[in-house]
Amino acid sequence: MIDLDERHIEKRSFFGRLLLVYFFFGALFLFILYKTYSLQVSSYSSYEIAALKNKTKEVLIQPVRGIIYDRNGNILVNNVPTYDLIILPSRIKNLDEFIFNLSETINLSDEDIENVNKNFKQKALYNRELTIKKNLSHEEIAKFEVRSHKFGNAFVDVRYSRENKYPYLFSHAIGYVGGVNDEQLTSILKNQKLKQSETAFKYSGGFIKGKTGLENIYDKQLRGLFGRKSYEVDAAGKLLKEISFEKPINGKSLFTNLDLNSQKMAFEQMGERRGAVVALDLQTGAIVTYLSTPSFNVNSLSNGMSQSAFKKLLDDKDKPFFDRASQGRYSPASTIKPAIALFGIKEKIVDWNFTLDDPGFFVLPEDQRIYRGWKKGGHGIINMRDAIVESSNTFFFSLAYKSDINNLIEHLAQFGFGRNVCIDCFNPDTGLLPTPEWKMNNLNYGWFKGDTVNLGVGQGYLNATPIQLAYYSGFLASKGNIQGLSFIDGEAAINTTFKSDLSINNSDWEKIHSSMIGVIEDYKGTAKRLKPLKSYVVAAKSGTVELVSTETKEDYELVRKNIGNRDHAIIVAFGPMPNPKYAVSVVIENGESGGSVAGPVAIAVLNELIKE
Amino acid sequence: MKKRLDFKNFSIYFDQYLFIAITLLSIMGLFFLYSASQENITIVAKQAVFVGFGLLLMFAVSQPDPDFYKTFSGLFLLFSFVLIFLTYVFGNEINGAKRWLDLGFFTLQSSEIIKIALPIFLSSYLYNKSLPIDTKHTFIALILIGFIFALVAWQPDLGTGLVVFMSGGYVLFLAGLSWRFIGSAAGIFLLSLPFLWNNFLAPFQRQRVLTFFSPDSDPYGTSWNITQSKIAIGSGGINGKGYQEGSQAHLNFLPETETDFIFAVIAEEFGFIGVCILLSVFFFILVRCLYLAFNARDRFCRLTIGGLSLVFASTLFINLAMVVGVIPVVGMPLPFISKGGSSLLSFYLAFGIIISMATHKKLMQR
């Protein structure tokens, strides 16, 4: 018999200890209840979001880029649909068999098949489509459609390519599109408050962005807005069902002022030559012709180009990628003379009756240095009108010599030199309007009087881009009433801060026009050969840019053996006079004669524009 | 109330509270399992068979007198040993662990049986010893416990091994194990932790523990499970997402939904309200066991009820603590709810024995 007291003690010890463990578990129980409460009640919203994020997959939907038109409604750049053969890998059990059967209907290249094999597994896992052949022919589509019942998991659908209808004409003006890097993509999407995620592409090329030209400048407008589709997904990322759909907003079309016919004409005229042609509509300040040659095929760049073909273009010594119209720097040469003449009038250094005797050269009084004209023996007694018509250097050397350099620079800046004149050109160069400070800082030399004299004939440090020369031409034509240039109607008026305050009398403007008309119409005019090429009156000023300074014709004959050393040919022109509608500038590298080489191109473009 | 229903020639031993609570829990379990298994009726049907058989088993094993278990506890333990040895020899290897014995109609996890057999045996062993337990018997018991722990942990199944260890430890504790002994054992354990860490934990086990202490170190690897479990529970909110509507469970974000993480599925679909209802059933069962232990007829019954109910409580809380992210991930089922026949049957067995201990009175003692 167990002692009762002992039993009692043992029982109490047991109860005490059992209760102790129970209290421990009770505390644990409360703690777990508290923990669950904090998860489910206190932090509910953050976990709700986490669960939602887990099961939702957003797919971005690419918008289609806007179409680009010329001023007559001709389509310049379009989205060309191609019919692509697309399969649904997740529903295909035996790929080899499927491909084998399919290849009996549609011819698949080894490359196509390799591509499918490489991507099949991943696409199947995530329930995504896979393009197996691009750009099917009508025949292939028909063949496939007839047998499509055999291939439930394959279909033909539209994917776009960005296509310039005139790939060589507008390569610099409109530019090309291309892929974007991660950073660019992030910023593009950020504007729409979107994050980078999987995307349903409309373009075979995936994400695209304007890289150059108008495609780049107006990229935002052309691009449109991404749409998005939300799907429910499982842990493996498999798409289960559609939750919401926000349609993409396709890009807005771009109605440019470019003129297809004049562009074609310019392109034809330039042929194989290097140079640029820019023409403006004077009423609007709109750029109607914009060509840089040699050109390249923008489409092959936009829709994928092989590395070697790209390298070949890059290494081409004629630099087809280089946009000469906005970035090429050329001395304006004699085309600057009307602006210098206006300076002389404005500053009352000369008047229209002033004459001087041109012996064919100018001697700088300071150091007896000789500055030559183009005509041996000179132009004789000559007034300002004839100095423009015949392009007397001596007259303008002398005029520049009498000018204050700072005032002259300020005056030339009004004509667009040394600054950007185009609102929507891609990476425009500002050319160079040299100042004494510039020379000191960059060449470590002070400004010589001779530098001012050189400026009088547009040689020396001064240089300008063809777009600046076109602006200059337009400035002269409109008597200073021109806005900044633009490809798009209205852009110039809206965005411009250009304002000129040249105080030139209308009669002086008329006389400048008349002088420039004389360049073509007078029997002594430097561009008189252009007279028969047109049926209306054109004002012009030609120029010949000396790349190597020579004293005699014989010396130049030696120089011109190297084509790259030949003079550049330049002309600025506008018409029809007396109420000019279009202004044009033409630069032909190593073209030698502004009047007879660049001139015909300018006239042909004007003819084409005025005809319309 | 414990009851003895008198029929003319025999008595039925039955505790309606435990029986109703456990039946309720089992039915809830089947209901939850249907959703947690992605509406897999085969899994639920199989589980239902275990539930039905288990309830019968529980009823059957509550009929014999506790003396029967006292007498045969050694045999029961021996039988469990045999099962474990058979597992070592013939067991199915799954994920590098030999824990299951294929019996043809069902694969048995032998360690689930021994966690019941061990406390019964120890209670019986200590029945006629003088209590509080003395040093000699403490060491005898500890050697036995340690040996069984090693057998199970070696499979390897550290989680169940620890529960087995606890099942023996609880009986010793309830039998009056001296505090000084407990203190020094705890001290030795703490000191040898670094050694145990390096020599006795498999790399995956160490990884689990490390991830637990710095969950951000590896958000898509080892801590994925616990992160997803918390998201499932938290996103359930107060009312839950509705039956079969849990996105974490149904879209496969949550792992092991049918077994270890079934509580997260319940919390996601039934919210805090559902959790409270479920936990109150468990709470009721534990409180009932406490009451039964207090009113048990003798030392053997007391120790057995105490030991078995604490094994049940330990399994329950380890599972819950793991799922809510309070302790590292260990494989531990939610009793009566998680899929798995062995664990289910072992608890029916345990509660059958508890009922037997609680309902049989020794008339001669009055």
Question: Residue A610: is its pLDDT beyond 50?
Answer: yes
Q: List helix spans (H) across chain B.
A: 16-36, 41-61, 66-90, 111-126, 135-153, 158-174, 179-191, 193-200, 203-213, 224-236, 247-250, 262-294, 299-323, 341-359
**How far is the C-alpha of B69 from the C-alpha of B122, rounded, in Å?**
12
Which residues pair with residue A77 across a beta bridge?
A68, A164
Residue type, B294: F
Question: Residue A549: is its pLDDT beyond 90?
Answer: no
- pLDDT value of position A308: 75
Instruction: Tell me if B258 sits within 8 A of B43, measured CB to CB.
Output: yes
Which of B304, B314, B318 is CA-nearest to residue B352? B304
Share of chain A above pLDDT 70, in %: 95
Instruction: Tell me if A48 sits within 8 A of A205, measured CB to CB.
Output: no
pTM, to two decimals = 0.70
Which of A287, A310, A308, A311 is CA-nearest to residue A297? A310
Strand A56-61 to strand A199-200: parallel, antiparallel, or no bridges (unpaired)? parallel
Question: Cα A354 from chain centroid?
Answer: 47
Out of A334, A473, A515, A585, which one is annotated catalytic?
A334
B203 preceded by a cis bond (ω within 30 of 0) = no
- Paired tokens of A523: 């029997």
- pLDDT value of position A91: 79
Question: Residue A136: is its pLDDT beyond 60?
Answer: yes
Q: Could you please report the per-residue DSSP string of A504-534? A: --HHHHHHHHHHHHHHHHSTT-TTGGGGGG-
- pLDDT value of position B366: 38
CA distances from B237 to A36, A51, A564, B260 (A): 10, 12, 80, 21
- Paired tokens of B122: 């120890």
pLDDT digits (tens, 9 = 90+) for A314-343: 888 889 989 999 999 999 999 999 999 999
Considering only CB atoms, which chain B residues are within 8 Å of A52? 235
Instruction: Work out the angle at residue B321's Cα, subtended by the Cα atoms of residues A28 and B39, and round it to the nearest 5 degrees.
Output: 130
Q: Average pLDDT of B245-251? A: 88
Q: Average pLDDT of A50-77? A: 90
Share of chain A above pLDDT 90, in %: 51
pLDDT digits (tens, 9 = 90+) for A569-603: 999 999 898 999 999 999 999 988 877 889 999 99
Considering only CB atoms, which chain B residues are within 8 Å of A230? none
Q: Could you please report the per-residue DSSP string of A417-486? A: TTS--BSS-SS----B---HHHHHHHHS-PPPHHHHHHHTTT-TT-BB-HHHHHHHHHHHHTTT----BB
Average pLDDT over chain A, rounded to whole? 88
**Cβ–Cβ of B234/A46 closer than 8 Å?**
yes
Q: How far is A114 from chain B (nearest CA, A)?
A: 32
Q: How confident is the model at residue B30 (pLDDT cuts 50, 70, 90)?
A: very high
Q: How confident is the model at residue A439 (pLDDT cuts 50, 70, 90)?
A: very high
Considering only CB atoms, which chain A residues are within 8 Å of B317? 25, 28-29, 32
Question: Residue A510: is its pLDDT beyond 60?
Answer: yes
User: Domains in chain A, please, with CATH?
Assistant: 59-255 (3.90.1310.10), 260-311+319-611 (3.40.710.10)
Q: Average pLDDT of A425-435? A: 92
- pLDDT value of position A155: 84
**Cβ–Cβ of A235/B251 closer than 8 Å?**
yes
pLDDT digits (tens, 9 = 90+) for A262-294: 999 999 999 989 999 999 999 888 999 999 999
Instruction: Work out the angle at residue A575's Cα, subtended by the Cα atoms of residues A570 and A577, and round it to the nearest 5 degrees.
Output: 130
**How far is the C-alpha of A77 from the C-alpha of A558, rounded, in Å?**
46
Q: Could you please report the per-residue DSSP string of A290-308? A: EEEES---HHHHHT---HH
Question: Residue A237: is its pLDDT beyond 80?
Answer: no
- pLDDT value of position A311: 85
Question: Residue B1: is its pLDDT beyond 50?
Answer: no
**How far is the C-alpha of A6 from the C-alpha of A9, rounded, in Å?**
5
H helix or E strand, kind and range, residue A58: strand A56-61
**Cβ–Cβ of A21/B170 closer than 8 Å?**
yes
**Cβ–Cβ of A44/B235 closer than 8 Å?**
yes
H helix or E strand, kind and range, residue A55: helix A44-55
Q: How confident is the model at residue A1 (pLDDT cuts 50, 70, 90)?
A: very low
Q: How far is B18 from chain A (nearest CA, A)?
A: 18
Instruction: Tell me if A157 sits within 8 A of A84, measured CB to CB.
Output: yes
**How far is the C-alpha of B154 from the C-alpha of B149, rounded, in Å?**
8
- pLDDT value of position A456: 92
Contacts of A105 by beta carbon, 8 Å cutoff, 6+ apart: A143, A144, A147, A150, A151
Which residues pair with residue A199 across a beta bridge?
A60
Contacts of B313 by beta carbon, 8 Å cutoff, 6+ apart: A25, B286
**How far is the C-alpha of A434 from the C-alpha of A340, rounded, in Å?**
15
Which of A219, A279, A227 is CA-nearest to residue A587? A279
Contacts of B236 by beta carbon, 8 Å cutoff, 6+ apart: A40, B246, B267, B268, B269, B270, B271, B272, B274
Residue A334 appears among annotated catalytic residues: yes
Burial class (CB in 10 A: 0-12, 13-18, 19+), B307: buried
Instruction: Tell me if A394 sits within 8 A of A360, measured CB to CB.
Output: yes
Residue type, B27: I
B238 closest CB neighbour out of A19, A32, A41:
A41
Considering only CB atoms, which chain A residues are within 8 Å of B307? none
Of B134, B177, B181, B251, which to mutate for an interface test with A (greatest number of A Cβ within 10 Å)? B251
**How far is the C-alpha of A370 from the C-alpha of A545, rounded, in Å?**
18
Q: Average pLDDT of A94-103? A: 85
Average pLDDT over chain B, rounded to whole? 87
More confidently predicted of A492 and B165: B165
Phi–psi pair at A44, nearest 5 degrees: -50, -50
- Paired tokens of B115: 């966690």
Residue type, A304: G
Tell me which of A387-391, A531-535, B94-98 is least confident. Answer: B94-98
Which residues pair with residue A361 across a beta bridge?
A372
Query: Residues of A near B (CB-CB distance < 8 A)?
Result: 10-11, 13-15, 17-19, 21-22, 25, 28-29, 31-33, 35-37, 39-41, 43-44, 46-48, 50-52, 54-55, 232-236, 240
Tell me which of A169-183, A298-312, B21-35 is least confident. Answer: A298-312
pLDDT digits (tens, 9 = 90+) for A347-356: 999 999 999 9
Share of chain B above pLDDT 90, in %: 51
pLDDT digits (tens, 9 = 90+) for A3-16: 667 778 888 889 99
A50 closest CB neighbour out of B132, B235, B306:
B235
**How far is the C-alpha of A99 from the C-alpha of A105, rounded, in Å?**
10
Tell me which of A250-259, A332-341, B22-31, B320-329 is least confident. Answer: B320-329
Q: Average pLDDT of A378-393? A: 92
**How far is the C-alpha of B287 from the C-alpha of A570, rounded, in Å?**
105
Which of B294, B220, B241 is CA-nearest to residue B2? B294
Which residues pair with residue A209 across a beta bridge?
A178
When computed from its CA atoms, the radius of gyration of chain A, rounded to whole angstroms, is 37
**Cβ–Cβ of A31/B293 closer than 8 Å?**
no
- pLDDT value of position A495: 53
Query: Residues of B near A (CB-CB distance < 8 A)?
Result: 131-132, 170, 173-176, 228, 230-238, 247-248, 251-253, 267, 271-272, 275-276, 279, 283, 286, 290, 293-294, 299, 302-303, 306, 310, 313, 317, 320-321, 324-326
Instruction: Tell me if B323 sits within 8 A of B265, measured CB to CB.
Output: no
Residue type, A139: E
